[in-house]
Amino acid sequence: MNALPLKPYSRVLEIGCGPGAAAREVAARLDTGHILAVDRSATAIAQATAGAAQAIAAGRMSVRQVAAEDFVLEAGEQPYDLVFAIRVGGLDGRHPGVGRLILRRLAAATTADARLFIDGGSPLRELPIPRP
């Protein structure tokens, strides 16, 4: 996770967290920040939750089962300033229609200067978050 421009206070959203390994790495680098790890799979969310009990208890990490194209902020939830996704078909070009939906959801759930990183670069590639 050295490739991400993390700050100790970052609010980070991971799309497609799987078992949560990357989210745990990010959580370990946050002081007052927070990472929300989301995945559409109940199995992945169960694994991520089990593996991150300490980070979750410390308030640096939370998990949520939701498809990226359905993601919305919950009541009172602050927007995110950093988003990343590894091997997410809607963002890496495999499913462009879904990708457009995800980007619209991210535009509504992030700060105006938020940054989005996906795999496919060296080591990551930055994508713009289109703003309405």
Please tell me which residue, 1 or 15, carries the higher pLDDT value. 15
Find all residues with CB under 8 Å of 23, minimum gap 6, and list them: 14, 17, 35, 37, 48, 52, 55, 61, 63
Q: What is the pLDDT of residues 73-82, one digit of tens each?
A: 999 999 999 9
Q: Is the pLDDT of residue 3 over 90?
A: no
Specify the pTM: 0.96
Give pLDDT, residue 74.
97
**Of 72, 15, 20, nearest to 45 (Cα)?**
20
- Look at residue 1 in the predicted model and tell me its pLDDT: 65
In CATH terms, the superfamily for domain 11-127 is: Vaccinia Virus protein VP39 (3.40.50.150)
Q: Give tens-digit pLDDT for 13-27.
A: 999 999 999 999 999
DSSP one-letter code for 69: G
